[in-house]
Amino acid sequence: MPILEVAIKLPLHRTFDYLISEIGDLRPGMRVQVSFANRKCTALVLAIKSHSDVPPEKLKTISSVLDKQPVLTPPHIAFLQFVAQYYCHPIGDTFFTALPAVLREGGHPDKTQIPTISLTEKGKTLPTLRSKKQQALLSQLTHGGEIKLSELKALGFAAQTIKSLEEKALIEQTIVHDKDWTEQTLALGDKPTLNEQQATICSAVNAQQGYRTFLVEGVTGSGKTEVYLQCLENVLAQGKQALVLVPEIGLTPQTVNRFKKRFQNMPIDLWHSNLTDNERLHTWRRAEQGSNALVIGTRSAIFLPFKHLGMIIVDEEHDSSFKQQDGLKYHARDLAVYRAHQQQCPLLLGTATPALDTLQKALSNKYQLLSLTKRAQTQQDNQFHLVDMKGQPQQCGLSPMSIHWMQKTLNRGKQVMVFLNRRGFAPTLMCHECGWLNTCQHCSTSATYHRAMNRLVCHHCGEQDFVPKQCPDCGSTQIIPNGVGTEQLEQFLTEQFTDIPLTRIDRDSTRKKGSLESALDEINQGGARILVGTQMLAKGHHFADVSLVIILDVDSGLYSCDFRATEQMAQLITQVAGRAGRAGEAGTVLLQTHFPEHPLLQDLINNGYGDFARYALQEREEALLPPFAHLVIIRAEATNVNFVLRFLSDLVPATPYPGIQLLGPIPAPLERIAGKYRYQLHIHAQQRPVLHDYLAQLARYMSEHELANRVKWSIDVDPMDTY
Ligand code: ADP
Ligand code: ZN
Ligand code: ZN
């Protein structure tokens, strides 16, 4: 009897063999139902073969075949096999992570019909409405065209707003059937003439036959998006599909509408975490059948099975949201390289602040480096100032100089942005008498004081507690906040600048759906003049009137145990600074630091990110850190610290493995979270193949270890951080 090699969604680093009575039309990439450990489960056929290492009498027969057509093509199977091998992740779990939920659970692959929302004839007359939100929705549909319900929601429109407009018969839901777009000539919206640098990039990319990765290093506002659009134009005109990956926070109406306005008659799909299961399947199948021209999506869009992929673009390629932090720990940008190579198409990585890993590949000519050095619309460069905080009096973390600059800027009627990467009121509470600090009971860290809720909240395990009236150690009632969070900063600035409207943007203030969008709206309409926020404020948004940016806590990035901290700090400073001075005049950026003479800071502010990054790369090379060595972190955690230590120690071989350096077990920077002890093993290697051979052996050994089920462990290849 023929034998099927299948992948089953299990945390095991292996495939399974089953028998089938008659092969019929069965092909790899189809789903079958099998019984495993007395449970029925969906499995994916990877290969059909005549021999199994398992004796025939032990093999079971599959229960049924679920598909008439494969749900994955052979190249896509090869891609996912590569993913599993590269990230040393269980093969079944890899396949089933990539598949949309409906297919994962054995559902029917035929496309469900997804209604889209569009303007009615009455809506097209664009009546003036009293509700601002309803007006905004009309304007979205006018500029962005028909759109799926969930996409509207992802863009921040509330269900109620949509319903109200439906009741007024200004918008309607319709089912749009796929039509063949590949034969159509592109209907293009207005576009600017490219400047010389942009034109050079576009012709280099458009002339590319087959695979090549380009790094477009261009300062904020230098016209990268315009370059993407004009490169895409060439791809779509050939009837090929394209994928644009954006960071989680980058999927804004502004971005999406730019694509929709440019490619007016092209089917464009969005892919993000807010889609329903049916919508996900719908877009997956449209990609597979070539029915969509362009998909704009967050990281998991890299798994979409395009029929004719002609280009991949990764915008803000340095952004850490491209790396999945749990389960299958893949990096969408890195997988984009494999896919572009497999599909023999160009890959564009664009950013103002390239990741050091990417830059190194560009500098060593593995990727082609293309630069945009000037802002597209004439603009002066921002001025950086380091504010030496040593011995300075501080008010709520702000130096007198910073407050003075704020006053001056506000007097001129401009907006000010104050950036602090710590939410809550204060990072700890402290006893003024004896120095007691409130630590979380379950974690080796303190719980943050949230004044609005009047609670202590641990940002690591989520535990909430009442604020003690008395010190548990000495009984004193003088419990005071220690340190500054955004909530406190907001309070201080409201008192300091009484008449000036302020908006705070962080995870707490934007918890309600749509609240981020309305806060951003308010900022853009000039309603708020002081903006206080965490890194949420830093990314991707365009604020026209901000002319002063103050960054409060630069030092935490300079002296951190994480080797990527300085890189991320520099990216953040550059990105935040890019928010300033966008409307013609130069902006000012104040960096508060106790280490104004720090060479990396000096380099960054005097010579810019590009120079900083090249210098930082030298440091990495001397320390043999990534990208000059490859790093893998094995993480393990359990309530019982001995289990964790024994498990990790057992992984360290008695004699060293050639080409592999091991460090550990070492405690994680946060040794305890939610009551669990966390330790790590760091694996360094110069050569990828050596590393991957070693990892494959290690993974097998780990899954068979006696403690494998009592310790929660994971393998992180090319980790983004060491936490
Ligand atoms: P980036 O993506 O690098 O931040 P954008 O593509 O958004 O830059 O360009 C910044 C601004 O300059 C946008 O308003 C864009 O429309 C405009 N722009 C870009 N390229 C040109 C050009 N060649 N001529 C005129 N305006 C341009
Ligand atoms: Zn005390
Ligand atoms: Zn905690």
Third-level CATH fold of 3-104? GIY-YIG endonuclease (3.40.1440)
Ligand nearest to the CA of 468: 2
Q: Are 359 and 324 in contact (CB under 8 A)?
A: no
CB of 226 closer than 6 A to ligand 1?
Answer: yes
Segments making up each domain of the chain, as ranges: 3-104, 116-174, 190-372, 383-426+483-620, 630-717
Residue 421: predicted pLDDT? 86
Pocket test for ligand 1, best of 196, 225, 231 (most atoms within 8 A of CB): 225
Structure tokens belonging to residue 126: 């664009």
Residue in 191, 296, 353, 377 to alter for ligand 1 test, most ligand atoms within 8 A of Cβ: 377
Report yes or no: 146 and 193 within 8 Å, Cβ to Cβ.
no
**3-state secondary structure (DSSP) of residue 271:** strand
Q: Which atom of ligand 1 is nearest to the CA of 220?
A: 4
Name the phi and psi angles at 668, rounded to 5.
-65, 155
Q: How far is the CA of 547 from the centre of ligand 1 (A)?
A: 19
Under DSSP, is residue 252 helix (H, G, I), strand (E, B) or coil? coil
Contact between residue 294 and residue 244 where contact means Cβ atoms under 8 Å apart: yes
Homologous superfamily of the 630-717 domain (CATH): Ribosomal protein S10 (3.30.70.600)
Ligand number nearest CA of 470 is: 2
Nearest CA to ligand 1 atom 8: 223
Is 222 near ligand 1, meaning CB less than 6 Å away?
yes
Measure 433 CA to ligand 2 centroid, in angstroms: 5
Distance 446 CA to ligand 3 centre (A): 8
Distance 463 CA to ligand 3 centre (A): 6
Q: Which atom of ligand 1 sits closest to the CA of residue 198?
A: 23
Find out whether the peptide bond into 665 is cis, omega within 30 degrees of 0: yes
Query: What pLDDT digit, counting tens, does each position of 531-575 carry?
Result: 998 888 776 566 778 889 999 988 888 877 788 889 999 998 888
Ligand 1 pocket member 220 (CB < 6 A): yes
Q: What's the rounded Cα separation, in Å, for the pair 151 and 279?
A: 10
Predicted local distance difference test score (pLDDT) of residue 526: 75
In the 3-class helix/strand/coil scheme, how is 407-434 assigned residue by residue?
HHHHHCCCEEEEECCCCCCECEEEECCC
pLDDT at 129: 86
* Closest ligand to residue 217's CA: 1
Tell me, what amino acid is at 365? N
Residue nearest to atom 12 of ligand 1 (CA): 376
Return the ligand 1 atom nearest residue 227 CA: 6
Tell me if 540 CB under 6 Å of ligand 1: no
Q: Which atom of ligand 1 is nearest to the CA of 352?
A: 3
Q: Is the CB of 194 under 6 A from ligand 1?
A: yes
What is the residue with the minimal CA distance to atom 21 of ligand 1? 376
Task: Tell me if 376 CB under 6 Å of ligand 1.
Answer: yes
Phi, psi of 347, deg, nearest 5: -125, 130
With a 6 A CB cut-off, is 508 part of the ligand 1 pocket?
no
- 396 within ligand 1 shell (Cβ under 6 A): no
What is d(CA 151, CA 156) in angstroms, rounded to the nearest whole number? 9
Buried b (16+ CB within 10 A) or exposed e, 283-305: bbbbbbebbbbbbbbbbbbbbbb
* CA of 193, closest atom in ligand 1: 23
Strand partners, 33: 42, 64
- What is the distance between the alpha carbons of residues 492 and 500, in angstroms, rounded to a whole number? 12
227 lines ligand 1 (CB under 6 A): no
CA of 584 to the centre of ligand 1 (A): 13
Closest protein CA for atom 6 of ligand 1: 223
pLDDT of residue 519: 80
Q: Supply the angle between the helices 599-622 and 565-577 in degrees, to the nearest 10.
A: 140
CB 488 within 8 A of CB 504: no
Q: pTM for the whole thing?
A: 0.90
Of ligand 1's listed atoms, the one at least distance from the Cα of 315 is 2
The candidate with the shortest Cα–Cα distance to 49, out of 15, 77, 92, 10, is: 15
- Tokens standing for residue 690: 């050596």
Write out residues in the chain with pLDDT < 70, as ranges: 111, 376-380, 513, 539-542, 581-584
Domains 190-372 and 630-717 share a fold: no
User: Could you tell me which of 144, 136, 90, 106 has the C-alpha nearest to residue 30?
Assistant: 106
Nearest residue to 12 via CA among 92, 85, 128 = 92
Residue bearing the CA closest to ligand 1, atom 10: 221
Among the listed residues 260, 258, 272, 267, the one whose alpha carbon sits nearest the alpha carbon of residue 287: 267
Q: Answer whether 482's CB lies under 8 Å from 429's CB.
A: yes
Which protein residue has the closest C-alpha to ligand 1 atom 4?
221
Per the omega criterion (within 30 degrees of 0), is the bond before 627 cis? yes
Pocket test for ligand 1, best of 226, 256, 349, 379 (most atoms within 8 A of CB): 226
pLDDT at 376: 67
CATH number for the domain running over 383-426+483-620: 3.40.50.300
Indicate if ligand 1 lies below 6 Å from the C-beta of 221.
yes
* Ligand 1 atom at minimum distance from 219 CA: 3
Q: How far apart are CA 511 and CA 179, in angstroms?
A: 39
Minimal-distance CA residue to ligand 1 atom 27: 376
Residues 311 and 212 sit within 8 Å (Cβ to Cβ): no
Q: Is the CB of 427 under 6 A from ligand 1?
A: no
Burial grade of 715 (CB within 10 A; 0-12, 13-18, 19 or more): buried
Ligand nearest to the backbone CA of 542: 1
Topology classification of domain 190-372: Rossmann fold (3.40.50)
Q: What's the pLDDT at 462? A: 85
Whether the Cβ atoms of residue 271 and residue 300 lie closer than 8 Å to each other? yes
460 alpha carbon – ligand 3 mean position (Å)? 5
How much distance in Å is there from the Cα of 227 to the middle of ligand 1?
9
